[in-house]
Amino acid sequence: MKQLWLAAPGKTELRTAPVPQPNRGELLIKVEAALTCGTDLKAWQRGHKLIPMPGPFGHEFSGTVAAAGGGVKKFRPGDAVMAVHTAPCLECYYCKRGFYNLCSKIMDTKVLGAFGQYVLLPRRIVQINTYPKPENLSFEEAAFLEPLSCVVHGVEKLGAGEKGENALIFGAGPIGLLHLLLLKLKGVRVAVCALEPARLKLAKKLGADAAFRPEVLKNVKKTAMERFAPQGADYVIECTGRKEVWQSAPGYARRGGRIMLFGGLKKGTPVTWPSHRIHYDELTLMASFHFCPRDVRQAHKLLARKEIDVKPLISGRYTLAGAQKAFERLAMGKGIKYVIIANH
């Protein structure tokens, strides 16, 4: 089979690999659609500890069951499915306490190689985090299951959804825009702050109540942020993974507000916050990492019921041979998500 490998920072290679055969409990999936994501871009630009280099990469996908190992009862060859690339062990310290996203073994069997013709799903993923794809949902839309599960996890932690609430999102990449779509579905007023005019325009098209560049917050705050939320935002959501945004985020929350730190920083990056505001204004700082099985179930329902329209986040399509171009465009800030198609 053909498979795209991340060979070195900034370089992909198209290689040939044997088609894996499923053991008991496993599924071999013919990949119908795979999506680029921010983690893939980071790995392509500078490497990532969870994506070995050189090696296959890509982890957001949907497809058709090509073969099923013994003991698999829920799926059979020919079934259209959607899945995520990890599943918890259900046995470790964290799983037994319900922190499935922090499972000690969750990355041991993670699936990489979605930018290829086939991927092999381990038993845990088949049992816990694989779902049928409804006929009314395209394979491209179904491939959003993984990123939407991550966003569902964070929004559920925030507890957002009360009538009249508002949120300020920093970042209008795929994760920021998925937050926007989910929060609007919950009835929250949303402002988006980002650098790229094209992405701000898309945010408005997707329902943002306000969209502005960072300098508007700094220089004319009263005509932007204070007009949107005079007391400050109920929720501030950081989706850029930039240190300066992490540090400034609490400054835009109301007293008693909540700040979600979603975009990860490089290990060892120090950050500082104003202790007086955090203490006397009783701000809540929280982070969101990965997802739990319940988040995947909820994301599947949202997509299957067409409650969230993810199609506007697709910026184009490339074959495996042209995937390098997709990452070059993303590195220049062009586009949101690209579909990588290996089997057509």
- Cα 238 from Cα 30, distance rounded (Å): 35
Cβ–Cβ under 8 Å, residues 277 and 247 = no
CATH number where 113 lies: 3.90.180.10
Q: What's the pLDDT score for residue 219?
A: 52
Same domain, 121 and 190: no
Q: What is the pLDDT of residues 302-312, one digit of tens each?
A: 999 999 999 99
Are 210 and 328 part of one and the same domain? no
User: Is 187 found in the same domain as 278?
Assistant: yes
Domain residues for the domain of 135 are 2-144+310-341
- 106 in the same domain as 24: yes
Q: How many residues does the chain have?
A: 344
pLDDT band at 220 (very low <50, low <70, confident <90, very high): very low
For 248-298, the pLDDT digits (tens) are 999 999 999 999 999 999 889 999 999 999 999 999 999 999 999 999 999
pTM: 0.95
CATH code of the domain containing 195: 3.40.50.720
Cα 25 to Cα 75: distance, rounded to the nearest angstrom: 10
Scan for tokens 């505001």, then name that residue. Answer: 277
Q: If you average pLDDT over residues 215-232, what whole number do you get? A: 69
Looking at 124-266, which runs of residues are DSSP E strands? 130-132, 166-170, 189-193, 210-212, 233-238, 253-261
The total number of structural domains in the chain stands at: 2
CB burial readout 257-281, b (16+ within 10 A) else e = bbbbbbbebeeeeeeebeeeeeeee
Write the CA distances from 196 to 177, 261, 326, 333, integer angstroms: 13, 21, 18, 8
Strand partners, 286: 260
Specify whether 130 is located in the same domain as 223.
Answer: no
Specify whether 10 is located in the same domain as 111.
yes
The Cα-based distances of 341 to 149, 184, 317 in angstroms read 22, 31, 7
Residues 6+ apart with CB under 8 A from 297: none
Backbone angles phi, psi at 324, to 5 degrees: -55, -40
